[in-house]
Amino acid sequence: SAPPVMTLGYDAPSFEDPAFDAPPVKEPADGALPAARGVQMAVRSGYAIPMGDATGAGADELSSSFGGQVPVLIEVGVKSGDSVFFGLYAGLGFGGPGSAADAQCSSSGLSCDAQTFRIGPEVQVHLHPAGKVNPWLGYGLGLEISTISMRGPGGNASMSLMGVELAHLMAGVDFRLSSALGAGPVLDLSLAQYSSMTMELNGVEVPGASGQIAETALHAWLSLGARLVLFP
């Protein structure tokens, strides 16, 4: 006769049993995307206006030497977590001379333009990194060089002011169009202080007109613009 069949005393569950169903997958909030990590890059532009004084000498407003500029700034860095970005920024602003410098260029028959270069480290805190709409705040500091270039029949000349960018304050909103691309407005305030001046004539430094600035002052560039973000 056949050997008795051993049983465990209960019916073996079927793999079709609800107990074996996979755990439910949590769906992201409506319109949300996974928070990005790793490499992030951005490019932004807008319009910047000069504020404050270039030096501590009387009536030496920055706007007398430099007019408004169109900056192009690149940011490259890493998001080590969902919310915090560490990176570097580098930018170049293009514009014309300020009111007093422009009058001097015109009276001297010179063609003049102005540029501002800045570079430094930055940190950003993203307030809603997994959302389609992600506000963020940023802080940086670095180096700033503003230059007026002059060209005329007698040759070329330039005046450059260099100093520390003490605080580069940023605030913006990234509209995350996809996991690879985002865009949005940005407000930028750069607080800096020029500490040295260099004058050049036909590429040669003019010693008597170059050196440290004896009376320094605080100035600012306030810009409003937009940025395009890769991997927001």
User: What HEC string does 83-146 produce?
Assistant: CEEEEEEEEEEEEEECHHHHHHHHHCCCEEEEEEEEEEEEEEEECCCCCCEEEEEEEEEEEEEE
Residue 203 placed within a domain: yes
Please tell me the predicted confidence (pLDDT) of residue 163.
98
Cβ neighbors of 51 (< 8 A, separation 6 or more) are 62, 63, 219, 220, 221, 222
Task: Point out which residues pair with 192 in neighbouring strands.
Answer: 165, 219
The CATH number of whichever domain residue 201 belongs to comes to 2.40.160.20
Contact criterion met (CB below 8 Å) for 207 and 43? no
Residue 33 placed within a domain: no
Residue 141 placed within a domain: yes
Task: Please give the torsion angle defined by the CA atoms of residues 5, 11, 13 and 18, in that order, rounded to the nearest 10 degrees.
Answer: 170
pTM for this entry: 0.83
Cα 93 to Cα 115: distance, rounded to the nearest angstrom: 5
Residue among 214, 176, 213 nearest 196 (CA): 213
Residue 1 placed within a domain: no
Residue 118 placed within a domain: yes
Please tell me the predicted confidence (pLDDT) of residue 178.
93
Mean pLDDT by 10 residues, the chain (232 residues): 52 54 52 84 98 93 97 96 96 97 94 98 97 97 98 94 98 96 98 97 92 96 98 93
Residue 21 placed within a domain: no
* Dihedral-angle region of residue 36 (phi above 0 means left; psi in -120 to 50 means alpha; beta otherwise): beta
**Residue 119 φ/ψ, nearest 5 degrees:** -155, 145
* Residues of the domain holding 104: 40-230
Cα 98 to Cα 118: distance, rounded to the nearest angstrom: 19
Residue 106 placed within a domain: yes
Q: Is the Cα torsion angle 84, 86, 90, 96 positive or negative in sign?
A: positive
Please tell me the predicted confidence (pLDDT) of residue 27.
47
The domain total for the chain is 1
Residue 119 placed within a domain: yes
